[in-house]
Amino acid sequence: MNEAISIGTAGDIEQGEATVVPAGTNGTDQDIAVFHAEDGNFYALNDTCTHETASLADGWIEGTEVECPVHSAKFCLKSGSALCLPATLPARTHMVEVRDGELLLYPNIDAVV
């Protein structure tokens, strides 16, 4: 099992915002976006939109969905499912946990939906 990576504290990412944990520093070769959703929970997806190169962390976060800032593809933050075209492929999820206020990312461990 992959080691958890500490990516700061839960207070570091405002609700409705996201941050990118860059490839290489997160144990994978993909940038990972960590979202603080409007339901108060944290979710992580591969940052690159599955439709075309764009950063989902720069997208519009509403509820538990993110809308890509370039072509408005939408993804479910919980499952990574592509909710509308132009994306047809899901975004890879990663498990995130808050432990004693610390934000832990488990790269390549699927989030539990």
Partner 1 sequence: MTLASVTIVGGGMSGFTVAKELRGRGFTGALTIIDPAGVPYDRPPLSKDYLLGARSQEDIQLAGRTWFAEHHVDIVTGTVAALRSDEGTVVLEDGRRITSDKVVLATGGTARRLPIPGGDLPSVLELRTRDDADRLRSLLVPGSRLAIIGAGLIGAEVASSALPFGADVVLIDPVDPPLVPAVGPELARRLHAMHPANGVEVVTGVPTSITVDATGHKVTLESGHTITADAVLVGIGIVPETALAESAGLETDNGTLVDESQRTTHPNVYAVGDSSRVRLANGTLLRRAEHWEHAMKTGATAAAALVGDDLPEHGASWFWSDRHGVHVEGVGSMTGEGATIVREKDGEPAVVFKLDVGGYLAGCAAVDGGLAVRAARRIIDRRIRVDPKQLADPSIDLKKLAR
| Residues in contact with partner 1 by the rule CB under 8 A | 16, 52, 58, 60, 67, 69-72, 85-86, 88
**Distance from C-alpha of 18 to C-alpha of 24, rounded to nearest angstrom:** 19
Q: Which is nearer to partner 1, 10 or 70 (CB)?
A: 70
Q: Strands of the chain (E only): list them.
A: 5-9, 17-21, 32-36, 42-46, 60-62, 65-67, 74-76, 82-84, 93-99, 102-106
Q: How far is the CB of 90 from partner 1 (least distance, A)?
A: 12
Q: How far is the CB of 63 from partner 1 (least distance, A)?
A: 12
Q: How far is the CB of 73 from partner 1 (least distance, A)?
A: 11
